[in-house]
Every structure is written in structure tokens, then in C-alpha cells.
Amino acid sequence: MHRVKVRVVEDALDANNTIARANRDDFDRHDVTVVNLMSAPGAGKTTLLERVLDDLGDVRAGVLEGDVQGSYDADRLASLHIPVTQLNTDPGFGGECHLDANMVRSAVPALPLADIDLLVIENVGNLVCPAEFRVGEDARVMVSAVTEGEDKPLKYPLMFRTCELVVINKIDLLPHLDFDIERYLHNLDAVHPGVPRMQVSARTGEGVAAFRDWLLQVKVPV
Amino acid sequence: MHRVKVRVVEDALDANNTIARANRDDFDRHDVTVVNLMSAPGAGKTTLLERVLDDLGDVRAGVLEGDVQGSYDADRLASLHIPVTQLNTDPGFGGECHLDANMVRSAVPALPLADIDLLVIENVGNLVCPAEFRVGEDARVMVSAVTEGEDKPLKYPLMFRTCELVVINKIDLLPHLDFDIERYLHNLDAVHPGVPRMQVSARTGEGVAAFRDWLLQVKVPV
């Protein structure tokens, strides 16, 4: 029984990866770099994007907004005057907690791939399932807010282990928290030794230039 | 195709509810009140429990700790000298993002139901799937941290709509955030009009007495 369940999950992930490769082919055909942006709810993904996507020089950015329902984040990004495509996970399901390759596949025809160089996919806020489903991205970025506590890398290791960059956000609040950044970094290195990380405050703008620079140079093999 | 998918999901939820009733029968047989405690990762569920469970007078409490892996929260609660049972969601799956009735069912034999009056089930940190799966609880409590932003009730409506109480946590940080509590409460009432709510700081202890009192009087029909 146990082994059958494992097999079913593996088959589902194989199918997901096949569709992710089809997405990847479409992105490659248009030379679009794709970043899968993940975090817990309220970690500051959208605020971070508001800070950096309006100032990428010659790089033309677009966003695919993943949400259970509504278009609250897409509405916030409207002022940036970049293409934003909404992808909701609730129709017919009652709400999926992550994006998978097939959902992104369904959105590909609506993406202006010929007119952008960089696509940021803002995933559903969740530290578990988004990590299990590749969607055809070049790189995965995790936003981890210091308000969530030092233990999060240990409690959600797959998410921290499968990303190329950890953006440690809300550092403006450090003076008001019982948060030991050294202990957090120790926990982070325990699950993903040496993973690139940067400390930022999307709210004040501190450190976000480093994330902008990272976006401008990113081109990591899948 | 679409309708088939909906049907599959409905069947799965029907099966879950059947098992939830079996859990409920076991809890009733021992006259144990069960609270399902849910939140995003890092909202402060464990800190809140550390504050209240050591001071419930004659009420004997126990905890069922739901985590993807590890026993970090259970270890934190060990100092309370109450029974804590660990339930991990990762064996054979790579990590489930929620507890369902069947997982709780598997833990029932390990629960000291004859020796407790109140069981708090600390769910996996996630604002989507835990809301879809009843586990046999009397009441559902959501912990919502002000650091997560005013928009969360609108973005994760099912979670806020299916709970009997919203504990608004981390209010000690309000002076340092751009968080309009009135707008948050407006959003909360938009998805769950009049749901009982309390403002607390699990870190400083402010307001937690009200949550303790609520736990002592809870006995809500499923």
C-alpha cells in the first residue's frame, strides 16, 4: 500500500516534468529567462517585485501571477506598466496551493513571450507543494521573511534545498524581533550549504539592488 | 474533463469527511474537545500554545503536532509537561502540506485520549489545503500575523471563512509596520462577517488571556 502510494506520486511528478520541459521549450524559443518566485504567504514577494521590475534597464520583464483566486497582486503591479498575466488555481478544484507545470502550460498562450526577456512567475504563497513542482523555470528564488522565525529552513527543507537564491526579507524589523540571524543562516546552511542569499527590506528598499543585479545576470540551466 | 476533475475532488473530500466522523466518535467517547489550529508558516501557533497550555487550571490539555518533517515544535512544547504527539506528513509522499482526517486517524491510537480533556491539533503551516480537510475537530482557530499583510483574508478566503475564531497575532509589531488594522478587519468581515477575533502578541503575552478563556469555554458543534 505504502509503495503503491509512492509510485503514484512519482508518476505524477514525472508527468509534471514532461510538461515543464514543454514550457521550457516555449520559453527557450523566445529566449525568455524564467524565475519561479516562492515563499510563505505574506513574505513580501509582490512588494519585492514592485521595487525591482520597474528598473531593469533594457531587460523587458513580465509577470505571471499565481493566486488561489482574485487578482490583488496583479492589480498592485499594474502601476509598473509591464505585462502581468493572472493565473488562478481555484477553477474546478476549490483552490490548489501551488502552481504546477500544467497550470503554467495553460497560461503560456496568454504570455507575451515575444515581447519580454524575463518572466517572473509569482507562485502561490506556500512553503511545501510549490517546491515539488517544476514549471519550466531557469531558476527558483525563495523569499524568506525574518518574521517567520529562525526554524523555517529546518521545517520546510525541500523548499530551501531546491532554490538557487534565498532572499531574506523584512530585515528592517530585525531590531524588533527575537530573531538570531546567525542561527537562521546556520539552519539554512544545514539544509542547503552555501546557497546564495541576500538580506533585503522590500519595504525600505535596503539591499534590493543586489536582487535587481541578480535578476539581470540570471541564466541558470534547469 | 473539467467536471470529472471536480467529481474526483468531491469524492476525496467525502471520503475525508467519513474518516473525520470516525475520529470525532473516538474523541466524543472520551469527552475530548478538539481544536484544529491553522496558520501560515511562522504566524506564531507554537509560541501561542507555549503561552496558554501551561495554565488551563483543571483542564488537561494535549497536543498533536503536524509537521512535514522533524519535531521542532514538539520539542519546544516539551517544557510544558503535557502530552505531545508528533505526526509527520512526509513518509511516502515527499511531504503533504496539510493534515487530513486519515493522517489524524493514524495518530489516534497514540493519543492519550483517556487522560486529556482538550486536544489542540497544530496543523501544517499553510493557508490553503488545511482549510479543505476536516479532521474531526470541534472548532477551527486561525492564527493570522499582522506581518503577513492586510490582504490575506481576501487572498485565502476559504481558510478565514471556515474557522470559528481568528487570533490576530504579533500586534507588538504594529508600530513598525505599514499595516492598517481597520482595513484588515474590513477584509476579514468581507469574507467571514462577524467571525470572533482577538488581537494578541504571543511574544509579549498581550491579549493571550482572552485566547486561554476561549479555549476553556469552547465546545462548538462540528
pLDDT digits (tens, 9 = 90+) for B94-141: 588 999 999 999 999 999 999 999 999 999 999 999 999 999 999 999
Of A5, A177, A178, the CB nearest to B93: A5
Once rounded to an integer, what is the mean pLDDT over residues A99-121?
97
CA-to-CA distance for A36 and A83, rounded, in angstroms?
16
A42 with B157: Cβ contact below 8 A = no
- Res B1: pLDDT: 36
Hey, are the CB atoms on B42 and A203 less than 8 Å from each other?
Answer: no
Tell me if A10 sits within 8 A of A114, measured CB to CB. Answer: no
* pLDDT attached to residue B221: 46
Q: What is the pLDDT of residue A100?
A: 95
Count of C-beta atoms within a 10 Å radius of residue A185: 16
Q: How far is B93 from chain A (nearest CA, A)?
A: 6
Do B139 and B164 contact (CB within 8 A), yes or no? yes
Q: Where are the beta strands (DSSP E) in B25-132?
A: 33-39, 61-67, 84-88, 118-122
Look over chain A and give the mean of its residue pLDDT values, rounded to a whole number: 92
Using the beta-carbon criterion (under 8 Å), do B156 and A68 form an inter-chain contact?
A: yes
Please indicate whether, in this complex, the C-beta atoms of A69 and B157 are within 8 angstroms of each other: yes
- Helix residue ranges per DSSP H, chain A: 2-29, 45-52, 72-77, 101-107, 152-155, 157-161, 181-191, 208-217
Q: Considering only CB atoms, which chain B residues are within 8 Å of A152?
A: 41-42
What is the average pLDDT across A170-181?
Answer: 97
Q: Name the closest residue on chain A to residue B67, using Cα atoms.
A: A155
pLDDT digits (tens, 9 = 90+) for B134-169: 999 999 999 999 999 999 999 999 999 999 999 999
Chain A interface, best mutation among B65, B124, B128, B133, by max A CB count within 10 A:
B128
What is the number of H-type helices and E-type strands within chain A?
8, 7
pTM comes to 0.93
Residue of chain B whose alpha carbon sits nearest to that of A130 = B97
| Residue A35 confidence (pLDDT) above 60 | yes
Please provide residue A56's backbone torsions phi and psi, each rounded to the nearest 5 degrees: -110, 20
Q: Taking the CB of residue A173, how many other CB atoms lie within 10 A of it?
A: 19
**Among A40, A132, A170, beta carbon nearest to B40:** A40
Instruction: Give the list of residues 6+ apart from residue B158 with CB closer than 8 angstroms, or none.
Output: A68, A94, A95, B128, B131, B132
Q: Which three cell numbers stand for residue B203?
A: 511574544
